[in-house]
Amino acid sequence: MHLNNQGDSRRGLDYTPLFKFLLSRVGDDWDVIYSEAVARLDKIEPIFWMVAKNEAEKKPFFRAGESAFFSGLFVDAENKLSMVDPNLGFEDMEPSCSCCTHTFNGIKFLRPFSTN
């Protein structure tokens, strides 16, 4: 029995370029965005870490890894990619520890870690 077959391993994949691509296309037609994204991915699931499939899944942000956060997205009634909370910014976010550099959409949090 092979417990660590490197050919089957998927650890360490960085989807940050996907998340930045999706953010850069907010306001554009979802069908075009989706087609372009899936053509470059190994699997489609990471798209839906960021883009809500339905109303119940909509979140203002999601965590991608230890300390990277990104805006939550959804497809609106006009089939346009939209932010769940377009007013949420890096200045609103609070780090969960003092040892990591926390980012929101690639920008470092302004607020310092607080134990209160």
Q: How far is CA 20 from CA 1, 24, 49, 76, in A?
A: 40, 6, 13, 19
Q: Could you tell me which residues are beta bridge partners of residue 74?
A: 82
Number of domains the chain contains: 1
Q: Within a domain: residue 9?
A: no
Give the pLDDT score at 12.
Answer: 62
Region 70-75 average pLDDT: 98
Pairing between strand 73-75 and 81-83? antiparallel
Percent of the chain with pLDDT over 70: 90
Alpha carbons 61 and 37: distance in angstroms, whole number: 20
Structural domain contains residue 1:
no
pLDDT the model gives residue 115: 80
Q: Which domain holds residue 89?
A: 14-108
Is the pTM here over 0.75, yes or no? yes
The answer to whether residue 3 is domain-embedded is: no
Asked whether residue 21 is assigned to any structural domain, the reply reads: yes
- What is the phi/psi pair of residue 73, to 5°? -125, 165
Provide the CA 9 distance to its chain's centre, in angstroms: 22
